[in-house]
């Protein structure tokens, strides 16, 4: 068998994933916290203030990376849900469900910081324009996935039902992203562009990109921590889980 495919099969096995995640975790937390510190220092201290908004623009360093993560994590959750529904891989079910609360948290941070910025800049905490409304719908989709998962007794059935909801909700992602282009919104369009030049000075841009990397690491670290616990719980009766529990008991 192709070594990559073999590794992929191995990765799907809970004990292998549990050990691998355990080894990766300190690195992910470390890199996440370091890049978070660098990004925040760069954004809040080093970056020059904006000519119109002065220092209020600095909310971008929390708001925009959270907004990106809210979409990214939803995509990740839906992808794992897709794999879980078709191949019934336990790990994918666990990862999808472990990602949901983290995604909801980022979505909430995005909405809350946007609201804090909106009051002084726009003049209102909230307005029902297409971008804000679709992002709020995204938060409710996360809540729906989490609620459905908790509402069903059997863990594996619950995660498949919730995965299906997550998969259907994916239609909201392009709506959130393109809402500022499709409709007249109060929310501004995209500043940082994948194609073409970004509409932000490079001295302001680099901390933003570092923050985007930091949030990725923090998401990965948080996800793996949660998934490890969930896997132990799911496989509580299995030998490997008992061994882990015994080893932890010896160490303590």
Partner 1 sequence: MNPTRKRRLVVISLILGAVGIAAALTVLALQQNITYLYTPVEVQAGKVPPDARFRLGGMVKAGSIQRAGDSLKTGFTVTDGDADLAVEYTGILPDLFREKQSVVATGRMEGSRFVASEVLAKHDENYVPRDVAEAMAKAHKKHEVSEGAPAAQ
> Given the rule CB under 8 A, which residues bind partner 1?
47-54, 56-57, 60, 82, 85-87, 120-124, 127, 129-130, 167-168, 170-172, 175, 182-186, 188-191, 199-201, 203-204
Compute the least distance from the CB of residue 89 to partner 1, in Å: 11
Compute the least distance from the CB of residue 75 to partner 1, in Å: 14
> 56 Cβ partners below 8 Å, 6+ apart?
50, 117, 120, 121
Concatenated DSSP letters of 36-78: HHHHHHIIIIISPPBTTTBGGGGGHHHHHHHHHHHHHHHHHHH
Compute the least distance from the CB of residue 158 to partner 1, in Å: 18
**Are the beta carbons of 96 and 84 closer than 8 angstroms?**
yes
Q: Which CB atom, from 108 or from 183, has the smaller least distance to partner 1? A: 183
Q: Which CB atom, from 19 or from 156, has the smaller least distance to partner 1? A: 156
Q: Which CB atom, from 32 or from 169, has the smaller least distance to partner 1? A: 169
Compute the least distance from the CB of residue 45 to partner 1, in Å: 14
> 134 Cβ partners below 8 Å, 6+ apart?
172, 175, 176, 179
Compute the least distance from the CB of residue 245 to partner 1, in Å: 33
Q: Which CB atom, from 13 or from 53, has the smaller least distance to partner 1? A: 53
Whole-angstrom distance, CA of residue 86 vs CA of residue 151: 22
List the end-to-end C-alpha distance of the chain, in Å, as a whole number.
41
Q: Which CB atom, from 61 or from 149, has the smaller least distance to partner 1? A: 61
Q: Which CB atom, from 3 or from 48, has the smaller least distance to partner 1? A: 48
**Are the beta carbons of 66 and 215 closer than 8 angstroms?**
yes
Whole-angstrom distance, CA of residue 236 vs CA of residue 26: 24
Compute the least distance from the CB of residue 177 to partner 1, in Å: 12
Give the CA angle between residues 160, 170, 195 to the nearest 5°. 140
């Amino acid at each position: 068998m192709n070594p990559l495919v073999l590794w992929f099969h191995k990765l799907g096995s809970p004990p292998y994933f549990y050990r691998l995640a355990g080894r990766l975790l300190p690195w992910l937390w470390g890199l996440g916290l370091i890049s978070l510190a660098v990004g925040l220092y760069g954004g809040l201290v080093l970056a020059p203030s904006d000519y119109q908004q002065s220092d209020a623009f600095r909310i971008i360093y929390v708001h925009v990376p959270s907004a990106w993560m809210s979409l990214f994590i939803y995509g990740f959750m839906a992808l794992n849900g897709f794999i879980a529904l078709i191949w019934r891989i336990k790990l994918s079910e666990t990862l999808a469900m472990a990602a949901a609360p983290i995604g909801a948290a980022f979505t909430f941070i995005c909405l809350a910081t946007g609201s804090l910025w909106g009051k002084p800049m726009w003049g209102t905490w909230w307005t029902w324009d297409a971008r804000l409304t679709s992002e709020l719908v995204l938060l409710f989709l996360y809540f729906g996935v989490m609620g459905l998962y908790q509402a069903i007794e059997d863990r594996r059935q619950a995660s498949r039902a919730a995965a299906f909801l997550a998969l259907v909700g994916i239609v909201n992602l392009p709506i959130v992203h393109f809402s500022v282009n499709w409709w007249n919104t109060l929310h501004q369009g995209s500043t940082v562009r994948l194609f073409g030049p970004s509409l932000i000075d490079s001295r302001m841009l680099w901390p933003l990109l570092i923050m985007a990397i930091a949030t990725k690491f923090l998401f990965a670290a948080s996800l793996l921590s949660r998934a490890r616990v969930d896997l132990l719980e799911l496989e509580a009766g299995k030998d490997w889980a008992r061994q882990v529990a015994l080893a932890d008991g010896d160490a303590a």
